[in-house]
Amino acid sequence: MIDVVALGELLIDFAAKSTDSAGYPTMAANPGGAPGNFLAALNAYGRKTAFLGKVGNDAFGNLLLGTLNAAGIETKGILVDDSVFTTLAFVTFDESGDRSFSFARKPGADTQLRWEEVDKSLIDEAKVFHFGTLSLTDEPVRTATQKAVAYAKAQGKLISCDPNLRLPLWPDADAAKEQMLWSLRQADVVKISDNEVEFLWNCTPEEGADKLLTEFGVSLAMVTLGPDGCLLKTRTAAFRAVCPKVHPVDTTGAGDIFGGSAMARLLELDKPVIIHDREAHGACLDAVCRHEGVRGVFHGFSGSAEMAKELVRREFFIAFGGALTYRGADRLRAVAASVPPDRLLLETDCPYMPPVPLRGTVNRSDNILHIARVLAPLHGMTPEELADITNRNAVRLFGLDAILPNLC
């Protein structure tokens, strides 16, 4: 399983280091491109990543491939093209460390990636699909990016976007704005700068974050604020982080590293989902199948043995409650008997669904023993043995190993 796959530009950044006696800048060649920087940060946090793109069959393309491989990024999705050169960027700085860009990209190899060349198996394997807007400046890579985003969304992947404004690469500001707005509408998670918020909407970072959440359907908005830190916002919470004061020498890639680091932290959360399915078995199973890597528990399970088998294969836990004790629940008891013990959970669903012999009363948590007394014999064990197993299963499900080590 790949954690994050990114599609986008790969280029060489020529950054000014000094000036010669005539006043001309002396430049150093650095492997670059926002998606690659993003993935490099993720790999530094131990995540598995892969890149989709194209470079030229030249010294700079070889340098980029070697750098990505050294960083541990999977490069089998990167094509080498004999007919075009690798894109070059030239970066100069003012006294405050702010940058100006110019590009040799007419065309650059990264702009020539076609949809039929995209290795879709890497998207299939990934949890997250990440892209930026610099792969939307030209054809055929614009169509390749749009189709890759649609493909990833159809596969239930988390979509991450960095609009990454670079006006010199666009015909005009309106073209840049159009594609940036399209990108934001596709994303679940967005990393955007305060300058990009101002360019798109001429508003404050807080107002921009609200727009992303309410008008664009984004789940997490991350607005970088330069020396003032960052703003993180969801529909239910907001947090503003400050950063220590520093004297920047070169801010190239800083936002990319922030974005990749934030995504690494987001992936660490890895919270289980809890699904309550009563009469929508097919729809719920289909939703699980479309979201590879999702784990959790089917609460109050009432599906078939075949459904339970598929859920177990996908490492879900199956929870049984009071319905298991009912007189007409022979089919459900047969399903429960087919679930491996290391995937079983007990529940009461209190105050509802009281077990036999307490039907007609308000259900309570301590009634779980009645359910254990029915489920345990189906697996040839005592209620106490079943309780020990299901306790351990709950610890695994919710990641409580460090808190409750004696139950592991």
Using omega within 30 degrees of 0 as the cis cutoff, is the peptide bond preceding 244 cis? no
Lowest mean pLDDT among 76-85, 215-224, 276-285, 392-401: 392-401
What is the rounded distance in angstroms from the CA atom of residue 349 to the CA atom of residue 7? 45
Percentage of the chain lying above the pLDDT 70 cut: 96
State pLDDT tens for residues 250-275.
Answer: 777 899 999 999 999 999 887 889 99
Residue 398: per-residue pLDDT:
86
State pLDDT tens for residues 312-327.
Answer: 999 999 999 999 999 9
Average pLDDT value for the chain: 92
Residue 358: per-residue pLDDT:
93
User: How many C-beta neighbours within 10 Å does residue 187 have?
Assistant: 27
Residue 15: per-residue pLDDT:
81
Record the tokens describing residue 38, joined without a space: 């993003």
Cβ atoms of 28 and 15 closer than 8 Å? yes
Record the tokens describing residue 400, joined without a space: 């409580």
Lowest mean pLDDT among 64-73, 244-253, 257-266: 244-253
What is the rounded distance in angstroms from the CA atom of residue 131 to the CA atom of residue 121? 17
Record the tokens describing residue 50, joined without a space: 């892969």
State pLDDT tens for residues 8-62.
Answer: 999 998 887 777 888 787 888 899 999 999 999 999 999 999 999 999 999 999 9
HEC-encoded secondary structure of the chain: CEEEEEECCCEEEEEEEEECCCCCEEEEEEEECHHHHHHHHHHHCCCCEEEEEEEECCHHHHHHHHHHHHCCCEEEEEEEECCCCCEEEEEEECCCCCEEEEEECCCCHHHHCCHHHCCHHHHHHEEEEEEEHHHHCCCCHHHHHHHHHHHHHHCCCEEEEECCCCHHHCCCHHHHHHHHHHHHHHCCEEEEEHHHHHHHHCCCHHHHHHHHHHCCCCCEEEEECHHHCEEEECCCCEEEECCCCCCCCCCCCHHHHHHHHHHHHHHHHCCCEEEECCCCHHHHHHHHHCCCCCCEEEECCCCCHHHHHHHHHCCCEEEECHHHHCCCCHHHHHHHHHCCHHHEEECCCCCCCCCCCCCCCCCCHHHHHHHHHHHHHHCCCCHHHHHHHHHHHHHHHHCCCCCCHHHC
Tell whether the torsion through CA atoms of 317, 322, 325 and 330 is positive or negative: negative
Tell me whether strands 230-233 and 238-241 are parallel, antiparallel or unpaired.
antiparallel
Asked whether the predicted pLDDT for residue 200 surpasses 70, the reply is yes
The residue assigned the tokens 């070697």 is 66
What is the rounded distance in angstroms from the CA atom of residue 324 to the CA atom of residue 371? 7
Kindly report whether the global pTM for this prediction surpasses the value 0.75.
no
- Ordered by where they begin, the domains of the chain are 2-269 (3.40.1190.20), 273-407 (3.20.20.140)
Closest CA to 272 of 289, 298, 294: 294
Closest CA to 7 of 105, 107, 134: 134
Asked whether the predicted pLDDT for residue 403 surpasses 70, the reply is no
Question: Average pLDDT in the 350-379 region?
Answer: 94
State pLDDT tens for residues 95-129.
Answer: 666 667 789 998 999 999 999 999 999 999 999 99
Tell me whether strands 2-7 and 126-132 are parallel, antiparallel or unpaired.
parallel
Closest CA to 326 of 303, 359, 300: 359
Asked whether the predicted pLDDT for residue 195 surpasses 60, the reply is yes
Lowest mean pLDDT among 76-80, 187-191, 401-405: 401-405
Phi then psi for 155, rounded to 5 degrees? -85, 0
What is the rounded distance in angstroms from the CA atom of residue 109 to the CA atom of residue 88? 10
Closest CA to 321 of 346, 303, 302: 346
What is the rounded distance in angstroms from the CA atom of residue 64 to the CA atom of residue 79? 12
Question: Average pLDDT in the 217-238 region?
Answer: 93
Kindly tell me the burial class for residue 285, based on how many C-beta atoms sit within 10 Å of its own C-beta (0-12, 13-18, 19 or more): buried
What is the rounded distance in angstroms from the CA atom of residue 209 to the CA atom of residue 236? 12
Asked whether the predicted pLDDT for residue 406 surpasses 60, the reply is no
What is the CB-side half-sphere exposure of residue 271 using CA atoms within 13 A?
A: 6
84 — pLDDT class (breaks 50, 70, 90): very high
Asked whether the predicted pLDDT for residue 197 surpasses 90, the reply is yes
What is the CB-side half-sphere exposure of residue 194 using CA atoms within 13 A?
A: 12
Residue 98: per-residue pLDDT:
67
Kindly tell me the burial class for residue 154, based on how many C-beta atoms sit within 10 Å of its own C-beta (0-12, 13-18, 19 or more): exposed
